[in-house]
């Protein structure tokens, strides 16, 4: 399960508005707004929660489970083909601009 706090944090990480999440998940905008206002676990049908989670994960969000430090979110490593930048271990004098 995921919480409304995690959904809001995930949207902030990827700079999505509620409308972006609604479009990506095929969950109505009023439903997204309602779900995000109630603290704690998302009070929705399992398929709705799964659609929201899948949309955020497809956009690069990783959900961190409760592990003593609290549940959270982070951005997944973006080393796929869409990543045009250099990683820190690839930086050297030969690729200075």
pLDDT at 66: 83
pLDDT in tens, the chain (97 residues): 899 999 999 999 999 999 999 999 999 999 999 999 999 999 999 999 999 999 999 999 999 988 767 889 999 876 544 444 445 556 666 655 5
Q: Give 40-43's long-range contacts (Cβ < 8 A, gap of 24+).
A: 40/3, 40/4, 41/1, 41/2, 41/3, 41/4, 42/1, 42/2, 42/3, 42/4, 42/7
pLDDT at 79: 56
pLDDT at 71: 87
pTM of the model: 0.77
pLDDT at 88: 54
């Amino acid at each position: 399960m995921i919480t409304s706090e995690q959904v809001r944090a995930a949207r902030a990480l990827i700079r999505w508005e509620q409308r972006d999440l609604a479009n990506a998940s095929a969950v109505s905008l009023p439903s997204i707004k309602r779900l995000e206002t109630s603290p704690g676990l998302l009070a929705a049908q399992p398929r709705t929660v799964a659609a929201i989670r899948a949309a955020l994960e497809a956009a690069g969000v990783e959900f961190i489970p409760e592990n003593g430090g609290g549940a959270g979110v982070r951005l997944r490593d973006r080393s796929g083909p869409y990543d045009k930048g250099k990683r820190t271990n690839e930086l050297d004098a030969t690729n200075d601009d």
